[in-house]
Amino acid sequence: MPTARSALRPLVAEELGGGFLTALTTSSAGNAGGTTLVDTDLASWGNDAFENWWAMVTSGTNVGEWRQVTDFVGSSGTLTVAPAYTGQVASAVTYELHRYNPTQIHLALNEAIKSCYADGSLWVPVRDETLVVDNLLLNSDFETFAAGNFTNWTLAGAGASVAESTTILWHGADAAAITAGAGAAATYGQAINTTPGNVQIYRPAQRSFVFRAKVYATAASTARLQITDGTTTTSHSYHTGTDGWEDQEVTLTPGTGFATVTVRLQVAASGVAYIDASSCHVDRLSRYTIPSTIEHGPTRVSILSDRYKQNPPYVLLDGWHVEVDGATRYLVFEDTPTPGRRLRLEGKGELTAMTTEAGTTEVVVPQSRLLVLKAAEILMRRMALGASFGQAAGYRERAVDLAAQYAAEFAKPGLKMWQAVQVPARRW
């Protein structure tokens, strides 16, 4: 269960050595200009007790706003702030009082997320299953949909339309749903540029292009796969209309002088069909661009044991390494795995940064304490930079103490997050 920023903030404030009050509630409305909060429960505090503190509203119209306290009158429990809130602070509104600016606490929490990832204490497991062995297609799983279309795919045919399908699908979160117009067949395809250097194909002419996909239709003679070089077109037989997914495969060996091979789903006029889990290969590829979802790693690589089943197990692969060329990272195999099989890449990534009051990050007790201690340490070191000599020494001393607490917590069994380790496995 993720933890909200609102829950982490008071924990950081506590580690800073006090100077915060939470779960406060205004007893009456402040002034119309939004420059005061009134809470008679603060009457026991002396005048100016909260001067230069920060008042953060946690409910009502001004939720999430924080302002610096410029004056406090103990007898009436009135806090004056500057600048004014965006509106009058009503009665029965919850708020917090902090000695340290909540903005600085929030920034420290997000910086702590990066720091804890760097030292290996806190991270989230990341999994990507978009790569298919030898696949030349982009967005082949139909997972990226924007501006009414799946990225890298083209719709053709009068009156045709494409939509996301989140219920009828084979893999991932989406499939493409194609509806043909009443007067003409529709096609939904992708062109593969075979110019040398664009794809890793050695002498593409006279080599066989194999296009595979899962196709779904509820009526016979409605949908089929096609592959064409602009001159020759190969078509699969039509889907049987069994209201289920069928595996279709078409092969084309282009002649010389072609530049593009296009793969597509053809849908008969007025028909509706779905396509998912597509791939097209021509040669054994050994080098793949690592998806951006895997920011670090991968730490493990697995391959689908059976491409014909919907949820078969994955088995570990060995004989791979990572190469870096500038900003691009590649997964390189010593021996290319079986074509058409889906790969699973596992790695680790940073916790989610929190940018709003309701924002959450993927920590729970006891790991959340690591994040809190690191954030408090970061804030103390930051405060020392702009403080007077005497104050700076106190901030640095507190930072050293927090760092020692962090190290002690980090060393405890069960606090450091577990990481999957690659082990030798059979080749596929």
Are 157 and 273 found together in one domain? yes
**pLDDT classification of 211: cutoffs 50, 70, 90:** very high
In the prediction, which pLDDT does 351 show?
93
Classify residue 189 by its DSSP letter: E
93 within domain boundaries: yes
Residue 328 lies in a domain: yes
Question: CA geometry: angle at 244 spanning 239 and 245, to 5°?
Answer: 70
Lowest-confidence range among 73-77, 79-83, 134-138, 258-262? 258-262
Determine, yes or no, domain membership for 94.
Answer: yes
Q: Which helix (H) or strand (E) holds 397?
A: helix 389-410
* Residue 8 resides in a domain: no
What residues contact residue 400 under an 8 Å CB cut-off, 6+ apart? none
Which tokens sit at 81? 């702030």
For the cut 70, the answer to whether the pLDDT of residue 386 exceeds it is yes
What is the structure's pLDDT at 306?
Answer: 84
- Of the listed ranges 308-312, 346-350, 354-358, 415-419, the one predicted with least confidence: 415-419
Mean pLDDT, the chain, integer: 90
Q: Which residue range(s) make up the domain with 159?
A: 145-281
DSSP 20-55: EEEEEE-SB---TTS-EEE-GGGTTSPTTTTTT-EE
Pair of tokens at residue 108: 């420290």
Q: Report the distance separating Cα 119 and Cα 361, nearest Å.
A: 18
Percent of the chain predicted with pLDDT > 70: 93
* Band of pLDDT at residue 204, cut at 50, 70 and 90: low
- CATH number of the domain that 80 lies in? 2.40.30
Question: Band of the pLDDT at 260, cuts 50, 70, 90?
Answer: confident
When comparing pLDDT for 104 and 136, which is higher?
104
pLDDT recorded at residue 190: 96
Residues 245 and 297 in one domain: no
pLDDT at residue 113, rounded to an integer: 96
Compute φ and ψ for 13, nearest 5 degrees: -60, -40
* Average pLDDT of span 392-408: 95
**One domain for residues 253 and 157:** yes
Cα 309 from Cα 315, distance rounded (Å): 14
* Claim to verify: residue 330 and residue 388 sit in the same structural domain: no
- 13 occurs within a structural domain: no
CATH for 184: 2.60.120.260
Q: Say whether both 151 and 223 belong to one domain.
A: yes
Cα 315 off chain centre by = 25
Higher pLDDT, 57 or 421: 57
pLDDT in tens, 108-127: 999 999 999 999 889 988 99
**Per-residue pLDDT band at 226 (split at 50, 70, 90):** very high
pLDDT at 416: 62
Least confident of 112-116, 161-165, 245-249, 277-281: 277-281
> Distance between CA 62 and CA 60 in Å, rounded?
6
Instruction: Answer yes or no: is pLDDT of 155 > 70.
Output: yes
pLDDT of residue 147: 94
Task: Give me the pLDDT at residue 312, please.
Answer: 86
Of the candidate ranges 64-68, 255-259, 269-273, the one whose mean pLDDT is the lowest: 255-259
Q: Do 269 and 363 reside in the same domain of the chain?
A: no
Residues 357 and 343 both lie in one domain: no
CA torsion, ordered 31, 34, 40, 44, to nearest 10 deg: -120
Instruction: Classify residue 193: in a domain, yes or no.
Output: yes
SS3 281: strand
| Rounded distance between C-alpha atoms, residue 156 and residue 34, angstroms | 58
Instruction: Report whether pLDDT(427) > 80.
Output: no
What is the structure's pLDDT at 154?
97
pLDDT tens for 72-82 read 999 999 999 99
18 has a pLDDT exceeding 80: no
Among 349, 376, 400, identify where a domain stops.
349
DSSP state of 258: -
- Quote the distance between the C-alpha of residue 274 and its chain's center: 26
| Pair (223, 264) in one structural domain | yes
In this prediction, residue 133 carries a pLDDT of: 86
The residue written with tokens 């889907």 in the block is 239
Residue 49 has pLDDT above 70, yes or no: yes
Number of domains present in the structure of the chain: 4
Range name among 89-98, 169-178, 195-204, 382-391 with the lowest pLDDT average: 195-204
Answer positive or negative: Cα dihedral of 332, 337, 341, 347: negative
pLDDT score at 413: 79
Could you tell me which of 187, 176, 186 has the C-alpha nearest to residue 150? 176
For residues 141 and 342, the answer to whether their CB atoms sit within 8 Å is no
Report which of 60, 87, 83, 58 is spatially closest to residue 70, judged by C-alpha positions: 83
- CA 428 – CA 424 distance, rounded (Å): 13
Residue-wise DSSP of 154-184: EEESTT-EEEEESSS-SSSS-EEEEE--SSS
What is the mean pLDDT of the segment spanning 151-163? 97
